[in-house]
Structure 1
Amino acid sequence: MPVVSTRELVGTAVAAGTGVAAFNVITLEHAEAVAEGAERAGRPAVLQISENAVRFHGGRLAPIAAATLAVARASTAPLALHLDHVVTPELLEAAPGEGFGSVMFDASALPYEENLAVTARMTAYGHRHGVWVEAELGRVGGKDGEPPPGAHTPGVRTDPDEAAAYVAKTGIDALAVAVGSSHAMTERTAALDHGLIARLRAAVPVPLVLHGSSGVPDHEIRAAIAAGMVKINVGTALNTAFTGAVREYLAAHPRAVDPRKHLVPAREAMAGTVAGFLGLLPG
Structure 2
Amino acid sequence: MPLVPTAELVDRARAAGGGVAAFNVITLEHAEAIAAGAEAAGVPAILQVSENAVRFHGGLVAIAAAARSVAQASSAELSLHLDHVVSEGLLKAAQHTGFSSVMFDASKLPYGENVKATAAAVRWGHARGIWVEAELGRVGGKAGEAPLDAHAPGVRTDPVEASTYVAETGVDALAVAVGSTHAMVERTAALDHGLIARLRDAVPVPLVLHGSSGVPDEEIARAVAAGMVKINVGTALNTAFTGAVRDWLDANPAGVDPRKYLVPAREGMAGTVERFLRVVAG
The alignment's TM-score, normalised by the length of structure 1, stands at 0.98
Distance in 2 separating the partners of 1:155 and 1:124: 29
Q: Which residue of the partner structure matches residue 186 of structure 1?
A: 185
SS in structure 2 opposite 1:230? Answer: strand
Q: Which residue of the partner structure matches residue 133 of structure 1?
A: 132
Q: Which residue of the partner structure matches residue 149 of structure 1?
A: 148
AA aligned to 1:100 is: F
Asked whether the 8 Å contact 2:156–2:179 carries over to 1, the reply is yes
| Deviations 1:220-259 (CA, angstroms, capped at 9, x unpaired) | 0000001000000000000000000000000000000000
TM-aligned CA distance change 1:89 to 1:125, over 3 Å: same
Q: Which residue of the partner structure matches residue 235 of structure 2?
A: 236
Q: Which residue of the partner structure matches residue 14 of structure 2?
A: 14
TM-aligned CA distance change 1:97 to 1:282, over 3 Å: closer
Residue 94 of structure 1, CA deviation = 0.8
Asked whether the 8 Å contact 1:207–1:229 carries over to 2, the reply is yes
1:215 paired with 2:197, answer no
| Deviations 1:137-194 (CA, angstroms, capped at 9, x unpaired) | 0000101153442245443100000000000000000000000000000000000000
Q: Which residue of the partner structure matches residue 42 of structure 1?
A: 42
Asked whether the 8 Å contact 1:148–1:182 carries over to 2, the reply is no
AA aligned to 1:12 is: R
TM-aligned CA distance change 1:145 to 1:186, over 3 Å: farther
SS in structure 1 opposite 2:174? Answer: strand
Distance in 2 separating the partners of 1:16 and 1:173: 18
SS in structure 1 opposite 2:280? Answer: coil
SS in structure 2 opposite 1:104? Answer: strand
1:32 paired with 2:28, answer no
Distance in 2 separating the partners of 1:256 and 1:247: 12
Q: Which residue of the partner structure matches residue 52 of structure 1?
A: 52
TM-aligned CA distance change 1:161 to 1:32, over 3 Å: same
AA aligned to 1:138 is: G
SS in structure 1 opposite 2:133? Answer: strand
**Structure 2 runs not aligned, ≥5 long:** none
Distance in 2 separating the partners of 1:147 and 1:229: 26
Residue 197 of structure 1, CA deviation = 0.2
Give the aligned CA root-mean-square deviation in angstroms. 0.9
Residue 282 of structure 1, CA deviation = 3.9
Runs of 4+ in 1 over 3 A off after TM superposition: 151-155
SS in structure 2 opposite 1:279? Answer: helix
1:272 paired with 2:281, answer no
Within a 5 Å distance, the mapping from 1:52-71 to structure 2 comes to 52-58=52-58, 60-71=59-70
Distance in 2 separating the partners of 1:219 and 1:242: 23
Asked whether the 8 Å contact 1:140–1:148 carries over to 2, the reply is no
Q: Which residue of the partner structure matches residue 3 of structure 1?
A: 3
Asked whether the 8 Å contact 2:140–2:150 carries over to 1, the reply is no
AA aligned to 2:16 is: A
1:172 paired with 2:171, answer yes
SS in structure 2 opposite 1:95? Answer: helix
Residue 107 of structure 1, CA deviation = 0.6
AA aligned to 2:205 is: V
AA aligned to 1:45 is: A
Distance in 1 separating the partners of 2:125 and 2:10: 17
Distance in 1 separating the partners of 2:153 and 2:133: 23
TM-aligned CA distance change 1:88 to 1:203, over 3 Å: same
When the two structures are aligned, how many residues end up with a matched partner? 282
